[in-house]
Amino acid sequence: MKGFDVISNPIGHITKTTPIGGILSIAAIIIAIILFRNEYANFSDKKIVKNLYVDHKSVAESLLVTLDIKLRFVPCAILSLDVHDELQHHRVDIPVEKIRINRAGETVEKVR
């Protein structure tokens, strides 16, 4: 055990090898091997982690979209607007400004 001391000094008359030094050297090598094996196992472990985070935005943070659509011969009372986006958010009967026009396309009145 005395001869296995890894940290022994080449100048023999200054230092002295002891059984404790050999035991500590063997313990250090065993700990280094265990740590290396654990790190290699963690490195070579193949895990696929899939995460999807959906950002739920409030109505105030929604995107403003302006549409100008003229539908002739359609009563304003039956028109409504529903929105469905790709994140599966669904809004029904969004308030819109309806303007009644005549056959020539001129504004007659605003309908709420």
pLDDT, tens digit, 9 for 90 and up, residues 40-67: 998 888 888 888 776 666 555 667 778 8
Helix (H, G, I), strand (E, B) or coil at 82: coil
One domain, residues 63 and 107: yes
28 band by pLDDT with thresholds 50, 70 and 90: very high
Determine contact, residues 25/4, Cβ cutoff 8 Å.
yes
One domain, residues 34 and 66: no
Mean pLDDT of the chain: 80
Q: Structurally, how many domains does the chain consist of? A: 2
* 23 Cβ neighbours under 8 A, 6+ residues apart: 1
Asked whether residue 7 is assigned to any structural domain, the reply reads: yes
Beta strands 90-91 and 98-101, pairing class: unpaired
Asked whether residue 25 is assigned to any structural domain, the reply reads: yes
The Cα–Cα gap between 31 and 33 comes to 5
What predicted TM-score, i.e. pTM, was given to this entire model?
A: 0.38
> What is the mean pLDDT of the segment spanning 20-27?
90
- Convert 18-51 to b/e letters by CB count within 10 Å (16 or more is b): eeebbeebeeeeeeeeeeeeeeeeeeeeeeeeee
Q: Which residue has the higher pLDDT, 33 or 77?
A: 33
Domain that holds residue 103: 59-111
> What is the mean pLDDT of the segment spanning 2-30?
75
Asked whether residue 49 is assigned to any structural domain, the reply reads: no
Check residue 5 and give its pLDDT: 61
What are 63-106's pLDDT values in tens digits?
Answer: 777 888 888 788 888 888 888 877 777 888 888 888 888 878 78
